[in-house]
Amino acid sequence: MESIKTQNRLKTTLSVLLMVFLAILVMVPFYFMIVSSFKDVSVIFANGINVNIDFSKMNFDNYKSLWTNQNGIYWSWYKNSLVITVVETVLVLVFTSMVGYGLAQYDFKGRKFIFALVLVMMMVPPSILLLPLYKLVTQLGLMDSYAGVILPYVVPASSIFFFRQFCMGLSREFAESARIDGCGEFRIFWQIYVPLMKPAFGAMTILTTMNAWNDFLWPLVVMKSTENFVIPAGLMSAMTPYGNNYKLLFAGSVMSIVPILIVFVLNQKQFIEGLTVGGVKG
């Protein structure tokens, strides 16, 4: 018995050490980015890559450049990313939660076929759909607009699958009792099941926000004007072959992670609970 406890403690210790090691590896690029954002470019690349903390050579000049670079165009990119991310996240949560709820809680003809289509769409690489989506957005006259970036990804198959799996574990007796009391279907969903789906909403809020905020290729294809770029595309366009705009790159990258950190902090409890519960449903 004592040997089993010793083995369990050893496994726990090794697991913790492994996680700490992996966390350090993940944090190294962030450390380099944050420290470099407070240094002049000539100091960063002096005698190789210099990531030592020397307060005498650190300042806020790189962050000041965000306001002065091309009349503060970085903040136009920031606004574009915020608008697209917020609108896309809200629409994705609303529509995919309704579809996932319907597939899980209702029995109707074609239900299995629709769910099979969802699974097939999850297997299709997004790059394959790039040309058809581009043609569709062009024909609809949505190029160089927020709608052109947002609408093609309002109902992602992965979000539908996640909500469906989560809702499979919710009892149908709540809906049956509500119908006896005279509640309509939409009222049953919004007032009864949405509160029960709070962990799923927390998890998908973080995942959807990260996907929308970090999306690079599709916004770059749709947006033609420089002032309409999102942050990833904007920072890429600001770099030249000679790498003479690193101050904008480092400071802009640090500022770009702030919204994601805020969303994660506000939803981390629901995120963990949603992934844990949703992973064992269905």
Q: How far is CA 189 from the centre of its chain?
A: 25
Residue 29 lies in a domain: no
67: containing domain: 63-278
Q: How many domains does the chain have?
A: 1
Residue 17 lies in a domain: no
Amino acid 275: pLDDT: 60
Confidence category of residue 1, pLDDT binned at 50, 70, 90: low
Residue 252 lies in a domain: yes
Instruction: Read off the CATH number of the domain in which 155 is found.
Output: 1.10.3720.10
Residue 216 lies in a domain: yes
pLDDT at 281 over 50: no
Residue 176 lies in a domain: yes
Distance CA(229)–CA(78), nearest Å, equals 9
Percent of the chain clearing pLDDT 90 (strictly above): 36
Tokens of 234: 């904007």
Residue 174 Cα distances to 105, 178, 188, 204, angstroms? 11, 6, 8, 24
Residue 37 lies in a domain: no
First to last CA, the chain: 36
Q: Of the spans 153-157, 166-170, 250-254, which averages the highest pLDDT?
A: 153-157
Tokens of 24: 């350090």
Segment holding 43, helix H or strand E: helix 41-44
List, as one string, the DSSP characters of 153-189.
GSS-HHHHHHHHHHHTTS-THHHHHHHHTT--HHHHI
Residue 20 lies in a domain: no
pTM listed for this prediction? 0.85
Confidence category of residue 250, pLDDT binned at 50, 70, 90: confident
Amino acid 151: pLDDT: 93
Tell me which amino acid residue 83 is.
Answer: V
How confident is the model over 196-217, as a mean pLDDT?
91
